[in-house]
Amino acid sequence: MSQQKTYQTARGVRDILPADQKYWQFFRCVSEKILSSLGIERIDLPHFENLEIYSRGLGNATDIVQKGMFTLDSASDDDSETKYALRPEFTAGAVRAYIQNGMGSWSQPVRLYYIGAAFRRERPQKGRYREFYQLGVEIFGDGSAKSDYLAIMSSWEILKQLGLKNLIVYANSIGCPKCRPKYLIKLKKYYKDKLSKLCDDCHVRYDKNTLRLLDCKEELCKKIADSAPTTLDSLCPECNTHFQSTLEYLDYFNIRYDLDPKLVRGLDYYTKTVFEICLVDDKSRQSSLVGGGRYDGLVELLGGQKTPAVGFSFGMDRVVSAMKEQKVSVPEKRGVEVAILQLGEKAKAASKKVFDLLLKDDINVFFVPSNDSLRSQIRQAVKQSAKYAIIIGQTEAMKGDLILRDLSASAQETIPLEYIVEEIKKRLA
Ligand code: HAM
């Protein structure tokens, strides 16, 4: 007999199974609570956008744009010239949304957060997927260090509230269009007589993305970068003051940070502050939990008015994995309190009515209308760990009565429909 063909997920993507859902649920819950208390509102953005938003926004020479995007052939049926890509991140899409929806005329700053999947064609490895989840914040319209602090503080606070330990912020400032060109000249000068020692990628970076020479992961390149001139030594007075104020906030509010003069991040839109949050023992720094920074030129670059902005994104997969590794305790979901079991045609309508009543009173119900025997339905209710079962047969349906059964004591009594919610609440309390 020929074997049925079975299917697997594509490389670098995976299922998130029910057993892990409590971590994700807790993460979303804690984040949404903290973010809304900081006046940050949710936005949902499309999963794909015009490819140019990413190539112009993130930078043509970046690794993501060069080799990391999933492009779509058939996203448009009206304009075959326009190419689309699955979002490799959210910031460029959020900027498009800010401009398209006229958010520049809203009261500033506009503070937004988003949650969802992002897609990058990367070589899959631990903590690096082709489909992964980000939860992030973008703050538009405030150029002061207060918003840099808000971005760092909110991500830090969420990780703390999740129960994660041994966290550290790495921070740097990579300057602005006034001071960075002068710095890049210095950097190129430093690298000029070392070119033969650099890896192939760094040769390309030297011409096309000079700043990124600093964060090459090849051992020899790393050594050479250790003695390179730093951006911090070349900041203009404005960038310097901005960065000092950001650090003062972090000091004042006791956020543990280290300066990392080689932190430049992999996206071209950044200006001034850049940061990552990592676990202290992640020495290779390949698995940052959070990445972010300021991008004061991006709104204008994508066609809007000049608008300062700053933000960050969590890699949710990595945060969940750290929660599991550190064995953080996650509140268990409130289990099933009552299962509704029904026998016969007449009971169907009555059971739906009971279902509506219990839901309205926020009682956790298990209700899968079925034609199974009572014994089988009780078995299913026990499997769900339900505390009580409401049993509705033909007779009960006609009389307007219900049988309330305590599944642990196997005791039961008949209760009129109009008293059922009250009785269950009394027992649950
Ligand atoms: P990013 O550093 O590219 O920045 O990504 C942010 C976070 O997403 C990383 O720190 C990491 O935790 C996670 N991440 C990135 N790639 C993967 C992957 N392949 N698999 C699993 N997790 C991954 C951005 O995306 C910027 N848009 C952040 C930002 C927002 N900057 C300003 N606003």
pLDDT in tens, 309-328: 999 999 999 999 999 999 99
Q: Tell me the best of 11, 16, 70, 89 to mutate to test the pocket of ligand 1, counting ligand atoms within 8 Å of each CB and taking the most.
A: 89
- What are the residues whose beta carbons fall under 8 Å from the beta carbon of 201, sequence distance 6 or more? 216, 218
* Regions of the chain short of the pLDDT cut 70: 1, 75-79
Contact 238, 211 (CB under 8 A): no
Of 63, 306, 279, 304, give the one whose Cα is nearest residue 176: 306
Centre of ligand 1 to C-alpha 317, Å, is 11
CA 64 to ligand 1: nearest atom: 3
Q: What is the pLDDT of residues 97-148, one digit of tens each?
A: 999 999 999 999 999 999 999 999 999 999 999 999 999 999 999 999 999 9
Task: Supply the pLDDT for residue 76.
Answer: 65
Pairing of the two strands 338-342 and 309-315: unpaired
Q: Whose CA is nearest to atom 30 of ligand 1?
A: 312
Q: Tell me the best of 126, 134, 140, 154 to mutate to test the pocket of ligand 1, counting ligand atoms within 8 Å of each CB and taking the most.
A: 134
Protein residues with CB under 6 Å of any ligand 1 atom:
89-91, 120, 122, 127-129, 132, 134, 136, 138, 266, 288-293, 311-313, 315, 317-318
CA 120 to ligand 1: nearest atom: 19
Q: Whose CA is nearest to atom 18 of ligand 1?
A: 128
Q: Which residue has the tokens 């930078």?
A: 59
Centre of ligand 1 to C-alpha 290, Å, is 7
Which three-class secondary structure state does DSSP give residue 36?
Answer: helix
Centre of ligand 1 to C-alpha 117, Å, is 11
Contact 219, 225 (CB under 8 A): no
Q: Tell me the best of 115, 277, 313, 321 to mutate to test the pocket of ligand 1, counting ligand atoms within 8 Å of each CB and taking the most.
A: 313
Contact 313, 134 (CB under 8 A): yes
Give CA angle at 369 (366, 371), nearest 5°: 130
Q: What is the distance between the alpha carbons of residues 406 and 382, in angstroms, rounded to a whole number?
A: 11
Task: Supply the pLDDT for residue 20.
Answer: 95
Q: What is the distance between the alpha carbons of residues 200 and 218, in angstroms, rounded to a whole number?
A: 10
Q: What is the distance between the alpha carbons of residues 222 and 195, in angstroms, rounded to a whole number?
A: 13
Centre of ligand 1 to C-alpha 231, Å, is 22
Stretch (H or E) spanning 370: none
Centre of ligand 1 to C-alpha 316, Å, is 9
Q: Please, which residues bridge with residue 138 across strands?
A: 112, 311
Task: Supply the pLDDT for residue 423.
Answer: 94
